[in-house]
Structure 1
Amino acid sequence: MILERLEALPTGRFHYKLLLVTGLGWLFDSMDTGLIAFILPVLAKEWQLSTGQMGMIGSIGLIGMALGAIIAGTIADRIGRKKVFTITVLMYSIASGLCAFSWDYASLLAFRFLVGFGLGGELPVAATLVSEYAPAKIRGRFIVLLESFWAIGWIAAACIAYFLIPLYGWRMAFFIGALPAFYVFLIRMHMPESVRYLLSKGYITEARQIITDLEKQLHVPVKPFDDETEVLLKDASVSFSALWKKPFISRTIMLWLVWFGIVYSYYGIFMWLPSLVYQQGFTVVKTFEYVLIITLAQLPGYYCAAWLVDYIGRKYTLSLFLLCSGIASYFFGHAGTAGMIMIWGAIMSFFNLGAWGVIYTYTPELYPTSIRALGSGWAAGFGRIGGMMAPVLVGVMLSRGFDIGTVFYMFAFVLVAVSAIVMGLGIESKQKNLESIS
């Protein structure tokens, strides 16, 4: 049987190549998202932007991401993961380059919306593709490692901001953000279509050919396939209503709420982080330096989560990291010195991004193949509503006289609340075959 042979494949060069190819897409996405956060303080000074306008620049990309996640997730269950991944990477690359030619606030908003659409479409589709290829014993670790490329992208954005923006201006940063367009050729050469997707559409010959090719690559003895009928993965209809039927309804509610909370807190905090640190009285260069240090803490957070997710499980790792991120957010908001800002910022960054790695692992595992990208896309899309709201809300709160402590008290409450929701509604999917999770 095709799926039995897929699961029996040893972890080898193919899996790591797939991780690298999809991870690079994740890195470029993150770099673009990070760049706008670092550009905002410079842009606000040059264009005399209000805090409300700054918040809108952060939020407009999230509006695009919400629509991109929903539409791309739906289409990926119909035309394939690889095609949608390629299209969305190309779209956000071109749109990022167009941002460099923005002539005013309105034009930048339009281009950032298109960037967000591409970004939002790529992420859940990439996670779905990797989860459908990684064997059950390493799937959790692989998805968290995939998400760890996000931290590398933010570090790249911080380095671009630190070394290039002071010398060449903010437009150069957007030009660099357009480079991933060339990466599309790597995707087309080195990324196969999902075997599980092919089976869900009845493309048995194509699925068998991929398995045979992989067995040859991984030096596994290749045996002819029997003429017996393969089990097609059509256990749920490809429709939005399928997400709200048993046993998926409780999973959908849990995932939507957790996605909302984690995206709300992340974009509310990190989109404003350089600006908030800058408002504490530090220079632009010193601000970028502090934020770079805080961002570096994301990498060990991912690696810790990658180990725990297959050791204590998805549910408990996610709940723990969300809780600790909430606690750190509270203390970061009340930090009074540069040292405390960096310490609590690093702890907050460690746990918040580790939680991101787990949620991308957890989400596709809770749906069958026929609605996996659809379910992942809608969960991520609903979460982006939180991402739209948070940057604008922070701008409004600051403009109305609320201090940073109050802002971060709000984020702490949200993170602790979604941690409790995971514990209450989550199920464990650790090291189970995707077809056996119930």
Structure 2
Amino acid sequence: MAFSEQQQRWYEAACARIDKERLKQRTLELTRIHSPTGAEAAASRYLVEQMSAMGLDAEYQTISEQSGNAVGRLAGSGEGARMLLYAPVDTHLEADESRDVPWVGPELRDDMKTDAYTQGDLVIGLGASNPKCMVTTLMEAVHAVREAGVPLKGEAVLAFAGGGMPQLVPERNHFGLSSGVSQMLMRGVTADFGIIFKPWWEIYHDHPGMCWFKVSVRGTLGYSGIPRGTPGFRSSIVPAARVILALEDWLPRYTERHTRGQIAPEGWIAAVRSGWPEKPAFPSATTEIYLDLRCNPHQTTAEVQAEFDAAMRDILARNPGVEADWEMYASVPGSRTPEDHWVVRSATRGWEAQEGRPYPGAPMLAGQTDAAAINNLGIPLVRIGYPWIGDETVPEAFAEGLGGMGVCNIQGMIKPCRALIYSIIDSLTREREALEL
């Protein structure tokens, strides 16, 4: 459904209202507000203030003393659809050397710290690229639509939740794994469909899930003064190494078997834990291996667990003498929105309007987001994104590894912002019947 002449005028007027300096300043301010998973209250309260200043009906949803969500509504005439525009607000690191180093590297780089700064069009600081500029670009799109005076029939719902990172934080009520968005959608926030804004300038309607496993390899408590081979003493660490290598051999074949649609579900061993660093004279009786298996929307988490069970039984059968048990300790099912759903087609048109060519299709993905939970809770969702800052634009000091996802190119957000505006106007200036609702 092409834009009418009037819709095109509204679209051009709204795009003309995009304010790059406002977007940069808001991204800088939000990046300077520390919001690790389970402690997003200050950032969410800031967003409520900003959305209220934009003229939106904004509210803060309390989850705990440390955490909360931010929601803002731009109402229309009531004849149209309700559209969710979503991004998480929490960061994956604590910005605390005592907790993050050496696991992030030898030191906290500037893109892992909260004292953010600008460098030309770049905003540098923990989470500047993911998730802070995702939040502020959604806000800028709605801000521009409102300033342009576009007469909406439907309602735009800006929604920013905590607990979106794929982690669990024990000291903050085990927050994470979409806990914030789950509470948000069970406490009055709803929509007919929506967009989640994430990295990569692509369109995804399939949303990966994930399953977390802990493998415990068993031995006996030892003592470094005991000769090797002494009856009654067995290492857990050396057998665990054999299990790790066997899993590393199995994981690529798992991915190959379950690649389907837009998803190539990867798996990674992420942590190994054993014994006491302060007393290495006593080799541990248990070595724990932690891994994340992604899954596509066509797999249930029970099917993933059954497949992992079979893989572990096979590994043990091929390694006599290795004793181990295992469990799945967290999971989020994958989900999908039909490719012909209105919001998917609208997002694709928005992409094509920026590129001037048909959308060629997205590369395979395994990145898990709140989209899986939102979709599973009943809101059809499409993922669109922005160009992930590449080696040609990121300063060399921040080019290695994932880092703090903390370098945002504001100029690179303008094209995605225009695509968001396209879908907002496309979806919310029509009556419900035109959207097949």
Q: Which of the pair has the greater relative contact order for Cα pairs under 8 Å at 6+ separation? A: 1
TM interval, shorter chain, is: under 0.3
TM-score of the superposition, structure 2-length normalised?
0.26
TM-score of the superposition, structure 1-length normalised?
0.26
- Which has the larger share of helix? 1
